[in-house]
């Protein structure tokens, strides 16, 4: 039978999505008695609520209830987990205002329109204080993080004597790079339907973490875990913003309990800018010391990132720097400054996206300072192992990424001189940067059921966030079973299925698919054991490796005439299904190895020297990210990540009014994301790699890797075109014209 893993298959749900047949969280179930919730948010940046006047709202048509800090049920717990600090958001438990846009009330009415109208009638009085809303004004208050990466990593790292080595270096780069606040902006807004049935509740929630939402709501409301059922069949994008259980989920559950009615709550686009996290703004100082030939002798990377006054999230921008290049002397620090904003969260490639922009920009500056080609500079400083952890990599195929990417892009034909290439009146520039993202894996479970008609069902409590998990689960199960792909169906998105981790950190494939493989192999073994057992004369005593499964029939390879259908076999045993459930989890590989995926980006831009307009005309990415399960959906992930990085480089920034803390561009009309006209020709190269050290299938994750380094490659191309180095993202025309 042909190998299924590695083929390029259409996604299972593709036709349903393009025809509009898919039902997302807010659409999954119709309730006859459904009520709507609409949130009221604070309009000041700091202070407290002194009075709430809801009289007009209560007289409005369709009004059912209003929850405020004065009457909301007291929570059993509002303590955030170490990895989900965003879950510490205020939940109507007191009158303190931490930032502009904080939820201060939830209005429930019969219809969405009535709830929206009633919410607009709620009047709040405040005791207002002056907010601190700019990271630049809080750097003197920056502190060492208390809970960096949930305690799994130290915020500071060092080796050798970097300060002395930098002082003595023949070539020095000492620059500061800044990245702005950015928001995820998935197409599907955050949404939830909360419905109680006695003392049990069901949540239809748009989430990247079904098991996490189940646990969080259980703890917050003080109800047993098995009394919380979470369903989420499809996610219309999340990019990290749906990894936490944000306040609207818990508030909807509270309102449903109070009103004894199912509650639907869908955030507006503006509310998604203040209620579901964002990428933290960073100020990063990079110091590179090198010999005249470009060999690094010292690297120092210091990050200050913003966080909230009521919780801590740290953008780990320097982690990639610790392992990316070979140097005997290194120092990395992380500091956070609390200001009056919502708490940041994981946004596609957290830390690596912002940190590698700074590092790869500094490496480009070093290339020009030493006269060494940017690709060659990276090869000169190639790290054969993780020098900070003193561990070998589980796999590293970065050299091949550089080689194949450069060859495809035509890097050898590039003139190294700045402002040397033109197309008519436009300046043309080419730049490159490295990409990396850690390979993550968590414990996950799966169940496989072989049915009497020769088909199979594979189940896991994971979620498909748009990456093609339905399809890859089917592919892996089919190959492990020896069944045709068409005979296997995947079911996921339900907390009733075996537990799986959050779809974040590019870990779903690496976590869930080994569990699917193990469960399918176990189910196949049970089927073959039944076939060769004493009750089946056709294949009695047959060795497992001598049994062929094809078209729902088991036969002997050595004697094809001896055969029996799966239906006949299971009917004789009075079985309707054969089932196996397995769990796969990491072993000691994290202790003995350093696990990462790698890649290389090459970008070409055109620049109008008079108007400052930048257009990316070509992007090429070469990536090595373990064994590829579905070549087609993998390519889509790579392209999507590169477009995401283009937005980081050229368009995206969240703007705050410093006086009030209000986000002034909280819409897709004003928050600029790349559209079709912005996206150039994109070439993706999937460099073969199988990492069986990391997991038995050799699979890593790819969702975040391709956006890392894109912004730096574009910034480096802009410098090559114009001779202007922009160290403050995004690169917009005004920065070039005014430089």
Query: pLDDT tens digits, residue range 290-310?
Result: 999 999 999 999 999 999 999
Distance CA 96, CA 103 (A): 11
Closest CA to 710 of 738, 684, 736: 684
**What are 25's two structure tokens?**
């969280």
- The answer to which of 86-95, 371-380, 607-616 has the lowest mean pLDDT is 86-95
Give the model's pLDDT for residue 498.
98
Tell me the helix, strand and coil percentages in the chain, rounded to 5: 30, 25, 45
Residue by residue, DSSP assigns 330-378 as EEEEEEEEEESSPPP---SSTTHHHHHHHHHHHHHHHHHHHT--HHHHH
For CA atoms 95, 52, 278, 86, give the dihedral sign: positive
Give the model's pLDDT for residue 530.
94
Alpha helices in 387-538 (DSSP H): 398-409, 469-481, 508-531
Is residue 229 classed exposed, middle or buried when 0-12, 13-18 and 19+ CB atoms within 10 A define those classes?
Answer: middle
Q: Is the pLDDT of residue 665 over 70?
A: yes
The pTM of this model reads 0.97
Residue-wise pLDDT tens digits, 527-551: 999 999 988 888 999 999 999 999 8
The answer to whether 88 and 344 have CB atoms below 8 angstroms apart is: no
Helices and strands (H and E) in the chain: how many = 18, 27
For CA atoms 626, 232, 254, 48, give the dihedral sign: positive
Domains and CATH numbers, the chain: 31-130+187-237+242-275 (3.30.365.10), 140-181+279-440+591-737 (3.30.365.10), 442-585 (3.30.365.10)
Q: Is the pLDDT of residue 78 over 80?
A: no
Give the model's pLDDT for residue 328.
98
Residue-wise pLDDT tens digits, 5-38: 999 999 999 999 999 999 999 998 788 899 999 9
Give the model's pLDDT for residue 333.
98
Active-site residue identified among 188, 352, 604, 704: 704
Q: Which residues pair with 303 in a beta bridge?
A: 284, 334
- Over residues 656-665, the mean pLDDT reads 97
Give the model's pLDDT for residue 84.
65
Which backbone phi and psi does 367 adopt, to 5 degrees? -60, -45
Give the model's pLDDT for residue 2.
65
Give the model's pLDDT for residue 197.
93
CB count within 10 Å of CB 443 equals: 13
CB count within 10 Å of CB 522 equals: 19
Q: Is the pLDDT of residue 453 over 50?
A: yes
Give the model's pLDDT for residue 90.
87
Give the model's pLDDT for residue 77.
80
Give the model's pLDDT for residue 337.
98
- Over residues 672-682, the mean pLDDT reads 96
Distance CA 371, CA 737 (A): 27
Residue 514: which pLDDT band, with cuts at 50, 70 and 90?
very high
Q: Is the pLDDT of residue 79 over 90?
A: no
Q: What is the overall mean pLDDT for the chain?
A: 96
Residue-wise pLDDT tens digits, 133-178: 999 999 999 999 988 887 778 899 999 999 999 999 999 999 999 9
Residue 89: which pLDDT band, with cuts at 50, 70 and 90?
confident
**What are 418's two structure tokens?**
């700045």
Closest CA to 55 of 103, 1, 124: 124
- The answer to which of 77-91, 145-159, 208-222, 407-421 has the lowest mean pLDDT is 77-91
Instruction: List Cβ neighbours of 31 (8 Å cut-off, separation of 6 or more).
Output: 193, 195, 262
Which DSSP category does 294 fall into? Answer: S
Give the model's pLDDT for residue 44.
98
Residue 1: which pLDDT band, with cuts at 50, 70 and 90?
very low
Give the model's pLDDT for residue 30.
80
Known active-site residue 568: no
Give the model's pLDDT for residue 647.
98
Q: What percent of the chain has pLDDT over 70?
A: 99
Q: What percent of the chain has pLDDT over 90?
A: 94
Which DSSP category does 194 fall into? Answer: E
- Over residues 123-138, the mean pLDDT reads 98
């Amino acid at each position: 039978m042909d190998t299924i893993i590695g083929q390029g298959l259409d996604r299972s749900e593709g036709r349903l999505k393009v025809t509009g047949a898919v039902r997302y969280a807010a659409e999954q179930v119709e309730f006859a008695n459904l009520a709507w919730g609409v949130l009221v948010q604070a309009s000041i940046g700091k202070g407290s609520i002194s009075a709430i006047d809801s009289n007009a709202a209560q007289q409005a048509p369709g009004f059912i209830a209003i929850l405020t800090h004065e009457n909301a049920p007291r929570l059993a717990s509002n303590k955030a987990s170490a990895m989900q600090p965003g879950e510490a958001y205020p939940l109507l438990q007191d009158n303190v205002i931490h930032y502009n846009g904080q939820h201060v009330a939830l209005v429930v009415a019969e219809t969405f329109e009535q709830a929206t109208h009633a919410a607009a009638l709620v009047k709040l009085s405040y005791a207002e204080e002056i907010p601190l809303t700019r990271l630049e004004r809080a750097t003197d208050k920056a502190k060492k993080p208390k809970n960096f990466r949930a305690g799994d990593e130290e915020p500071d790292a060092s080796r050798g004597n970097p300060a002395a080595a930098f002082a003595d270096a023949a070539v020095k780069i000492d620059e500061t790079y800044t990245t702005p606040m950015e928001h995820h902006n998935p197409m599907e807004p955050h949404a939830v339907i909360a419905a109680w049935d006695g003392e049990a509740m069901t949540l239809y929630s748009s989430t990247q973490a079904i098991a996490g939402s189940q646990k969080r709501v259980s703890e917050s409301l003080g109800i047993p875990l098995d009394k919380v059922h979470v369903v989420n069949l499809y996610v219309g994008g999340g990019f990290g913003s749906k990894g936490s259980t944000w306040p609207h989920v818990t508030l909807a559950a509270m309102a449903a309990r109070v009103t004894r009615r199912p509650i639907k709550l869908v955030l507006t686009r503006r509310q998604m800018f203040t209620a579901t996290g964002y990428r933290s703004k960073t100020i990063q100082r990079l110091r590179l010391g090198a010999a005249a030939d470009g060999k690094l002798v010292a690297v120092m990377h210091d990050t200050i990132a913003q966080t909230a006054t009521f919780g801590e999230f740290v953008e780990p921008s320097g982690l990639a720097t610790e392992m990316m290049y070979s140097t005997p002397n290194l120092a990395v620090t992380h500091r956070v400054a609390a200001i009056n904003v919502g708490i940041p969260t994981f946004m596609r490639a957290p830390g690596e996206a912002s940190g590698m922009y700074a590092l790869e920009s500094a490496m480009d500056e070093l290339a020009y300072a030493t006269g060494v080609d940017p690709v060659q500079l990276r090869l000169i400083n190639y790290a054969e192992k993780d020098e900070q952890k003193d561990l070998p990599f589980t796999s590293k195929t970065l050299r091949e990424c550089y080689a194949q990417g450069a060859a495809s892009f035509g890097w050898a034909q590039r003139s190294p001189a700045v402002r040397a290439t033109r197309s008519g009146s436009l300046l043309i520039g080419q730049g490159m940067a490295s990409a990396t993202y850690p390979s993550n894996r968590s414990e996950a479970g799966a169940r496989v059921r072989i049915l009497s008609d020769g088909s199979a069902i594979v189940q896991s409590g994971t979620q498909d966030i748009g990456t093609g998990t339905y399809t890859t689960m089917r592919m892996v199960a089919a190959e492990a079973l020896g069944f045709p792909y068409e005979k296997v169906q995947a079911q996921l998105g339900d907390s009733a299925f075996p537990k799986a981790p959050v779809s974040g950190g590019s870990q779903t494939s690496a976590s869930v698919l080994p569990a699917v493989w193990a469960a399918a192999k176990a189910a196949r073994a049970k089927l073959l054991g039944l076939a060769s057992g004493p009750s089946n004369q056709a294949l009695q005593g047959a060795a497992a490796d001598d049994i062929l499964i094809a078209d729902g029939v088991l036969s002997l390879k050595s004697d094809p005439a001896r055969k029996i259908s799966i239906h006949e076999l299971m009917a004789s045993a009075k079985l309707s299904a054969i089932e196996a459930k397995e769990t796969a989890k990491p072993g000691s590989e994290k202790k003995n190895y350093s696990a990462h995926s790698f890649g290389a980006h090459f970008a070409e831009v055109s620049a109008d020297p008079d108007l400052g307009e930048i257009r990316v005309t070509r992007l090429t990415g070469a990536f090595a990210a373990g064994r590829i399960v579905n070549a087609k959906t993998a390519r889509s992930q790579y392209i999507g990540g590169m477009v995401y990085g283009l937005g980081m480089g050229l368009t995206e920034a969240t703007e705050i009014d410093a006086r009030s803390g209000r986000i002034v561009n909280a819409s897709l009309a004003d928050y600029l994301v790349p559209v079709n006209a912005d996206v150039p020709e994109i070439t993706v190269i999937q460099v073969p790699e199988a990492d069986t050290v990391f997991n038995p299938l050799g699979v890593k994750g790819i969702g975040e890797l391709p956006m890392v380094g894109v912004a730096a490659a574009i910034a480096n191309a802009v410098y090559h075109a114009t001779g202007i180095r922009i160290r403050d993202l995004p690169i917009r025309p005004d920065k070039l014209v005014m430089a």
